[in-house]
Chains A and B, each alone.
Chain A
Amino acid sequence: MRARASALITVSLVWLAPVFVAGQTKPASLPRTPDGHPDLQGIYDVATLTPLERAAGQPLVLADEDAAKLEKQVAERKFRAGLPSRGDRDAPPKGGDGSAGAAGNVGGYNNFWIDNGTRYVAVDGRKRTSIIVDPQDGRIPQMTPAAQQRTARATRATSDQQAREDDPGLDPTPGAYDDPERRPLGERCLVGFGSTSGPPALPVLYNNLHQIVQTPEHVIILNEMVHDVRIVRMNAPHLPPSTRKWLGDSVGRWEGDTLVVDTTNFTDKTRFRGATETLHVVERFTRVDADTLLYRFTIEDPATWTTPWTGEYTWPRTAEHVYEYACHEGNYALGNILRGARLKEANAQR
């Protein structure tokens, strides 16, 4: 089995080589639409263990045996998370359970709701430790001094030191709970969290499915999360700068067999990783085999980063369906969050 798999990988590498070297060749075996362009249509599940950035000093390529070890560790962790708990257990500890990040010291919810992938991304048959490939250290480049000031202002600590010590999971930004419009876009159900719809489209905890539908005039990318739809107008100019969109304005063109999507005209509220409305994203979709797309993106915002940066990962086809995600239908969380903050204020005044 193993020998067969590596033979298969070798064969596909040899077969794919011309695509990667020339980029403009037209291998007859790739499915094409009637107008002769590669057929990118299908449903893709982009869940992966490969993070956007990698730790300092790590190489980009992960040896197959190391990837296998890490993937096994994750599978074991998920298996353990599914084992029975004690039926006669007590309530969790007072003061919080110590969980970090968005789980906010209260532990989020069960693992069975989470679907964040089982494998590291492989590009050219080699596993990857990060999505970012440029800069070469696999990290988002430094922010400009102005951007550093801007983001530092936004995350300046609240004067309520005691509240922060009591609730380490709380957002320390002043006024963060004062207004629904100050809450994160994902929490407000405006766009998916973690740039899942993009651009750039990045893998997140669940709902990692994208569907591509293609005509000569448009390419449509349906994202399961928040059922955001991106409509890419082919060979069209960008909208005037006065027209701003949450997901930006996307126009497309073919460069050989690669679909290039250029996006500008973001709102000043989209703020991908601290970016401004001058964010410019170029995405490149290339079919590498019947079941796989290579997705590559370059991020540019001179008002935020000192250099552009680029990431890439593969989108494997899935036989799964894309389901709806009408985010507002039961968004009790937002009300609970704001109501909790008002109550806390009322208690403080008493």
Chain B
Amino acid sequence: MRTKLSALLAGIGLMAAASMPVVAHHAFGGEFDPNKPVLLKGKITTIEWVNPHAWIHLEIVKPDGKEACQYTPNAKCEEWMVEGGTPNTLLRRGITKESLAKGTEIVVDGYQTRDHSLARANGRNVTFPDGRKLFLGSTGTGAPTDGADPAEGRGRGRGRGGV
């Protein structure tokens, strides 16, 4: 009985997991090259808070970079763009494009676009240099009263920066 139940739960869990990634805005495999993994360490120059996907721009110090760095004095930089998800999800948690100061250092691992002449990658994992995720995840919408957390109060206040 116990085995049957856990098999059942595993089956349902699998169905739920399987039904998730099949649908998404676009085919990541078509856009990015699995044979061009990248690790990018640099400072945020701007965030394009756009749909369908936000793009984080960062400058990476490179001796043969074409432009002067904005946030590292007397150095040359190369600008990269990193694809994230829909801004609405973060906005709902009180995070805006103003939440991260320009010049903030981040680390991104992902894959470069299939067109290697473009300095673009998917933000497979975007963190601060110490490994903390760039934004806090959430079990719900992230709003303090979304009902996902049984311990939460009934107040109408908003957390993490406010809206």
Chain A interface (Cβ < 8 Å from any Cβ of B): 45, 47, 49-55, 57-58, 62, 66, 69-70, 73-75, 78-79, 81-87, 89-97, 99-116, 118-119, 129-130, 166-171, 177, 184, 186-187, 189, 193-194, 204-207, 224, 318-321, 323-334, 336-337, 339-341, 343-344
Contact indicator A84/B131 (Cβ below 8 Å): yes
Shortest CB distance A124–B (Å): 19
Per-residue 0/1 for B55-88: is the Cβ within 8 Å of any A Cβ (1 yes, 0 no)? 1000000000000000000000000010111111
Within 8 A of A (CB), among B118-153: 118, 120, 122-143, 145-146, 148
Chain B interface (Cβ < 8 Å from any Cβ of A): 5, 8-9, 11-16, 18-35, 37-39, 48, 50-55, 81, 83-92, 107, 109-111, 113-116, 118, 120, 122-143, 145-146, 148, 156
- A55 cross-chain contacts in B, Cβ below 8 A: 11-12, 14-15
When chains A and B are docked, how far (Å) is the Cα of A332 from the Cα of B133? Answer: 24
- B113 cross-chain contacts in A, Cβ below 8 A: 336, 339-340
Most chain A CB within 10 A, of B33, B55, B156, is at B33
Contact indicator B29/A78 (Cβ below 8 Å): no
Shortest CB distance A339–B (Å): 4
When chains A and B are docked, how far (Å) is the Cα of A62 from the Cα of B8? Answer: 10
From the candidates B21, B51, B84, B128, name the one contacting A329 in the complex (CB within 8 A).
Answer: B51
- B22 cross-chain contacts in A, Cβ below 8 A: 101-102
When chains A and B are docked, how far (Å) is the Cα of A111 from the Cα of B25? Answer: 15
When chains A and B are docked, how far (Å) is the Cα of A83 from the Cα of B131? Answer: 9
Contact indicator B85/A323 (Cβ below 8 Å): no
Most chain B CB within 10 A, of A78, A100, A206, is at A206
Show 12 A/B contacts (Cβ-Cβ < 8 Å), sorted by A.
Answer: A92-B111, A96-B34, A102-B23, A102-B24, A106-B28, A108-B28, A112-B133, A166-B35, A187-B26, A326-B50, A334-B26, A337-B30
From the candidates A70, A83, A90, A325, name the one contacting B51 in the complex (CB within 8 A).
Answer: A325
10 cross-chain pairs, A with B, having the tightest CB-CB distances, nearest first:
A169-B29, A104-B29, A113-B85, A340-B114, A330-B50, A101-B21, A82-B137, A96-B34, A102-B24, A194-B23
Contact indicator B124/A118 (Cβ below 8 Å): no
Shortest CB distance B7–A (Å): 10
When chains A and B are docked, how far (Å) is the Cα of A184 from the Cα of B25? Answer: 9
Most chain B CB within 10 A, of A91, A207, A343, is at A91
Most chain A CB within 10 A, of B14, B131, B136, is at B131
From the candidates A109, A116, A119, name the one contacting B123 in the complex (CB within 8 A).
Answer: A109
Q: Which residue of A lies closest to B13 (CB)?
A: A70
Most chain B CB within 10 A, of A69, A99, A332, is at A332
When chains A and B are docked, how far (Å) is the Cα of A57 from the Cα of B51? Answer: 40
Contact indicator A85/B11 (Cβ below 8 Å): no
Shortest CB distance B138–A (Å): 7
Contact indicator B26/A184 (Cβ below 8 Å): yes
Contact indicator A327/B52 (Cβ below 8 Å): yes
When chains A and B are docked, how far (Å) is the Cα of A70 from the Cα of B5? Answer: 12
From the candidates B5, B35, B111, name the one contacting A66 in the complex (CB within 8 A).
Answer: B5
From the candidates A99, A205, A331, A336, name the one contacting B114 in the complex (CB within 8 A).
Answer: A336
